[in-house]
Amino acid sequence: LEDVTLGYDSLSQYIADSPYFGALVGRYGNRIGKARFTLEGTEYKLAVNNGPNHLHGGLKGFDKVVWQAEVLTVNSVDSPTHHGGVGLRLRYRSANMEEGYPGNLDVQVIYILTDSAELCIKYSAQTDKTTIINLTHHSYFNLTGGMKDDVLGHVLQINAGSFTPVDETLIPTGEIRSLNDSPLDFRTAKPIGRDINAIDTQMRFGQGYDHCWVLGHPNPGGELNLAATVFEPVSGRVMEVLTTEPGLQFYSGNFLDGAYTGKGGRVYNDRDGFCLETEHFPDSPNRPGFPSVVLKPGDTYRTTTVYRFSVK
C-alpha cells in the first residue's frame, strides 16, 4: 500500500495555506462569476477570492470551519455501494449570510471507507431560507504512489460528450459545447499529457485542464453513474469515479507552482496531482440554462460520490 494523494504532514500547514488538499468544499464548489448572484429578486455579494470571481465558498469556506465528528461502523445496507466498512459523520451549521450566502444551512457529510477499497461520500443539507448549494471533494490524486512521478502518464477516460467552455477568468460562457475535435475529449482513454499543451483557446485559458465535463446523467441526484476511470500503467492502479452529480471538474494541477511543500518534504510542482471534482456546473446561479443549484426550505439536498480503487 502507498499514499496516492497530495497533502501536508501537519494540521498547521492545512490551516496556514492550502490549495484545497483533500478539502470538503462549500457552500459552493467551483467559481461564481463576479462573486455575486441574484435569488428571488435579491442580489447577494460574495467574497472575491479568485481574480474577479468567488471560488470554493469564499475566504472561510467549509474546508476552514470546525465540524462535529462522529465515528461510524457502516453495514452493507447503509453503504451506497452495498459494501460495509468504517465511516465518519460530519455535521455543521452554516449561519445565515456566512460568506454572503442566505439561510441557516444544516449540512451532513458521511465518509465511508469500505472493505472493497472504496471511498464513499454522502452529502445532505437543509435550509430555512432559499439558498444555493454545490458541495464537492477536492483531493489531489497521484496514483504512482509516494509521488514517484507527475500525472501526465496517467490514462484518463471521462464519460462525457460535452463540456462548459469558459472565458479567460474560468467562468462558463453558458454554452454546452460538444467535445468533438477537442483536446478535452476523453471519451476514449488517453494519457493526461497527450494533448495538455495543445494550441487551443480553452487549454490556454485553463493553463491545461480546468473545466467541467457534462456527464449527461438522465437523473441527476438519482443513481450512481460511472463518470471517469484513471489508470496508472506502472503501478497498475485504477481509480473509478461514480457520482449522482451532472458535472465533473477535471483539474490537472496547473497552479501547483512549487510554492507548496507537502508530505515528507516533497515540493509540489505543476501536474504533480489531479482532481476529479463531482459537482453541479460552475456559475450555475447565474446561468438559468444549467441544472439548478437552488435549495428551498422543506427540501433536502442529497448527492453521493464514490472513488473506487483496484489494480489490473
Active-site residues: which are they?
A: 138, 277
Answer for the pair 80, 120: CB distance below 8 angstroms, yes or no.
yes
Helices (H), the chain: 11-16, 201-206
Alpha-carbon span 252 to 229, nearest angstrom: 15
Q: What is the DSSP letter of 180?
A: T
DSSP 83-121: --EEEEEEEEEEPTTGGG--S-EEEEEEEEEETTSEEEE
| Vertex 109: Cα angle to 103 and 114 (nearest 5) | 170
Ramachandran quadrant class, 228 (left: phi over 0; alpha: psi -120 to 50; beta: rest): beta
Alpha-carbon span 185 to 163, nearest angstrom: 9
How buried is 72 (Cβ within 10 angstroms: 0-12 exposed, 13-18 middle, 19+ buried)? middle
Nearest to 160 by CA among 126, 194, 211, 207: 211
Q: What are phi and psi of 289, to 5 degrees?
A: -80, -10
Q: What is the DSSP letter of 13?
A: H
Answer for the pair 101, 132: CB distance below 8 angstroms, yes or no.
yes
